[in-house]
Chain A
Amino acid sequence: MIGLPEIIAGVIAVALNAYVLTGGADFGGGVWDLFATGRRRGRQRELIADSIAPIWEANHVWLIVVVVVLFTGFPSAFSMLGTVLHIPLTIMLIGIVLRGSAFVFRSYGPYGRTHWGRAFAIASVITPLLFGTIIGSIATGAVADAADKIDGAATFSEVFVRPWAAAFPAAVGFFAVALFAFLAATYLTVDTQDEELREDFRIRGLAAAGAVFVAAAVALVLAHSAAPRVAIGVVGALLIQAATAVAAIAAITALWLRHYRVARLAAAAQVSLILWGWMIAQYPYLIPPTLTIRDAAAPAVTLRLLAVGLVVGAVILLPSLHYMLRTFKTKRRA
């Protein structure tokens, strides 16, 4: 049955999807900054910076929307995540702080560009790694299990470390880094007019696609033992899996054949489908195997107000976002 709690959860899912496609790609840009090589590495870094500078802060706010709607609509889920995943969330936050501030210091700050650039690049790898790890650990059900043990005789490590410091969450972490790098590379091929740079990022995109494939395979193998629900769900949701595969093949083929706009669209579709595949697989659970969307939902009065707030917010936000992207992502008039 679909009611207000499910709709609000759907909003979180959409915001998370938007964050992955926009903010995720910005982190991916940082990954390519770290791996900038060859004669053109200076120009590669410049392209990355120009491409994300005007929009990364707005992109980043999607994450804040996810957090805020989560703690308003599903306070007990937020509380559980904040408690059990305290350590990885804190590391991710440090990554977020360093990435953002290093990026702006690189443009405006003291001590030259090199050091800040390096800090920006490293933080851009760490943050999505932890982001993926956190999602992976939620999927295994270990978070909910650990939350049950807090009041008992469980050790520190059983509650606060083991749920996320495991093979499957780590594999999802690497998967996220590879995916974001893949996204960023395909976006960058569209963002530049320079044929050499475009070729650089085409090759990088293809390499990242390979990494995505390997990471996905590893995660899928591990999923059978670590996250039975996801494994069953993923196999069960054949349709989504088939669609993901089609999008992936389309993205790689288009990149190979230099149809960059098609590649960008297909890559975005592929990443979105992967995300939705995970979320649909664990429906109706927010945090499997115990906390469902209904269990975690805030009282109806809050959800209704939140829904009104979200509609009002969307009315202001969507035209603004459209305006921003039109301003910065249409071809520069020389």
Chain B
Amino acid sequence: MALSLGFHIIFAEIGIAMPLLMVLAEWRWRRTGDAIYLQLARRWAKGTAILFAVGAVSGTVLSFELGLLWPSFMRLAGPVIGIPFALEGFAFFTEAIFLGVYLYGWERVSSRAHMSAGLIVAVSGAASALFVVIVNAWMNTPAGVTVDAGRFVTIDPLAAMRNPSTFQQVVHMLLAAYASTGLAVAGLHAAVLLRNNTLFHRRAMMVALTIGIPAALLQPISGDTSARAVARWQPVKLAAMESLLDTQRGAPLHLVGIEIPRALSLLAFRDPDAEVRGLSAFPRDVWPPIAPVHLAFQLMVILGTLMALVCAWAAVTTLRRREIADHRSLLAALALLTPAGFIATEAGWVVTEVGRQPWIIGGIMRTGDAVTPMPGLAVPMIVFTLIYLGLAAVVAISIASLVRETT
């Protein structure tokens, strides 16, 4: 399951942001009449088609795996979290319908209808993400239920959707999608530009950056508010993220071996002397695995910071009316950051998921109690791993050949 999710999250991100890119390119074409933008829109639409199809089937696998792997979790939580899943289903349906119209309707519908179809795809993609992340937020900080002896006595699905983590997690995920995909696409084209400076790749990179730069610049702010929410609602997770063993006032922040005094207290509680509870304040059997959570958190913060810095550099370059494409060191930096957003996403996902362990529903149900009684789960695990690795390889090859196609 973790594997399928880890695989799916990347495709979902691309599925959220890519339609926006292709619509932007088409809009530029309709505005300027510059045929390069049309070419770009069509090329990106092809890429979107591949990624959407793979994202759609991996999403199907997920919806079944909820029952295949976590039957007890679904029996308990289905009535609570089913509503956002159902809404997600409809958002996804809308996305699939209009992606079909967009991809195969260039000659069949009017230009206005075609643009609108693309926009609907972009909006419904973001809506699907919203609903799915709501479910995850609920698992982190369950609300809207009263529990007695492991059963839900009363449930309020709407209150569950408005749990304390929802807002921060949704914003953080959407920004992550736009930043990762925008910068990945920009990075791919920047890499080509380093060798072969054509107008096509310049335009492509600039359109991608119009989405990537704002998102990457906003992401650290969203990360900060998320961290404060975690500090308040999931103190064990925060302690694991910082591998803070003992409770202390004026707790320092560790970043790549550097210790910044009092920074953690300041960041988490807006007070340099605030008390941050360490792991030892909690019983050992509710500790998550500390090392992976801590490392993943560091990785996410470092990559996010790098992305924001390079984006600030690119933004300043543009504001000073210089062409990014003529700036070789900036191009190289962008090219290097191509996978950064996706790696940061995976790391962030490790932080939120592994950081919640041993719980599948924070404080209510343990992961071990939710798993299916069927023995031999290693077999499907291995099979799906192989399939996913194969799919990822083919997708990568397809995308690479799409980018390389000279124009």
Contacts and interface: CB of A to CB of B under 8 A. Distances in A.
Interface of A: 53-55, 57-58, 60-61, 63-65, 67-69, 71-73, 75-76, 78-83, 86, 89-90, 93-94, 96-101, 103-105, 107-110, 150, 156, 160, 298-299, 301-302, 305-306, 309-310, 312-313, 316-317, 320-321, 323-324, 327-328
Contact of A94 (B80, B105, B387): B387
Contacts of B374: 83, 86, 160
A5 B61 CA distance: 26
Given A68-B63, A96-B61, 9 more contacts: A58-B100, A93-B61, A99-B57, A105-B398, A108-B402, A109-B394, A298-B78, A301-B156, A305-B157
B53 interface: yes
B250 interface: no
A80 B78 CA distance: 13
B372 A83 contact: yes
Contacts of A105: 50, 394, 398
Interface residues of B, number: 69
Interface stretch (B91-99, B164-172, B303-311): B91-99
B391 interface: yes
Contacts of B85: 68, 71-72
B397 to A, nearest CB: 5
Contacts of B401: 110
Contact of A81 (B49, B67, B88, B90): B67
Contacts of B80: 302
Contact of A86 (B49, B77, B372): B372
Contact of B57 (A69, A76, A101, A156): A101
Interface in B87-139: 87-90, 92-94, 96-101, 103-105, 108-109
Given A76-B75, A105-B394, A90 B380 contact: yes
22 contacts: A54-B103, A58-B97, A68-B63, A78-B74, A78-B75, A79-B74, A79-B78, A81-B67, A89-B67, A94-B383, A94-B384, A96-B57, A97-B57, A100-B57, A104-B53, A108-B49, A108-B402, A299-B79, A302-B157, A306-B83, A316-B90, A320-B94
A86 to B, nearest CB: 5
A68 B88 contact: yes
A302 B155 contact: yes
A72 B373 contact: no
B50 A108 contact: yes
Given A72-B78, A86-B372, A324 B49 contact: no
Nearest to A97: B57
Interface string B371-407: 0111110001001100100010010011001100000
B203 interface: no
A73 B83 CA distance: 9
B58 interface: yes
A249 B57 CA distance: 36
A97 B391 contact: yes
B276 interface: no
A97 B380 contact: no
B50 A104 contact: yes
Given A82-B71, A82-B74, A89-B68, A57 B52 contact: yes
B60 interface: yes
A100 B61 CA distance: 12
Given A71-B66, A93-B64, A302 B83 contact: yes
B56 interface: yes
B68 A97 contact: no
A8 to B, nearest CB: 10
Contact of B53 (A57, A156, A323): A57
B79 A298 contact: yes
Contacts of A83: 67, 71, 372-374
Contact of B373 (A71, A76, A90, A150): A150
Interface of B: 46, 49-50, 52-54, 56-61, 63-69, 71-72, 74-80, 82-83, 85-90, 92-94, 96-101, 103-105, 108-109, 155-158, 372-376, 380, 383-384, 387, 391, 394, 397-398, 401-402
A215 to B, nearest CB: 26
A68 B101 contact: no
Contacts of A79: 67, 71-72, 74-75, 78
B87 A313 contact: yes
B79 A53 contact: no
Contacts of A150: 373
A57 B75 contact: no
B99 A57 contact: yes
A80 B71 contact: yes
Nearest to B120: A320
Given A57-B56, A299-B79, A301-B156, A310 B86 contact: yes
Given A89-B64, A301-B155, A309-B86, A316 B46 contact: no
Contact of B67 (A53, A82, A108, A299): A82
B56 A100 contact: yes
Nearest to B81: A72
Contacts of B50: 104-105, 108-109
B86 A306 contact: yes
Contacts of B76: 75
Contacts of A80: 71
A55 to B, nearest CB: 6
A293 B1 CA distance: 29
Contact of B104 (A53, A60, A73): A53
A84 B76 CA distance: 18
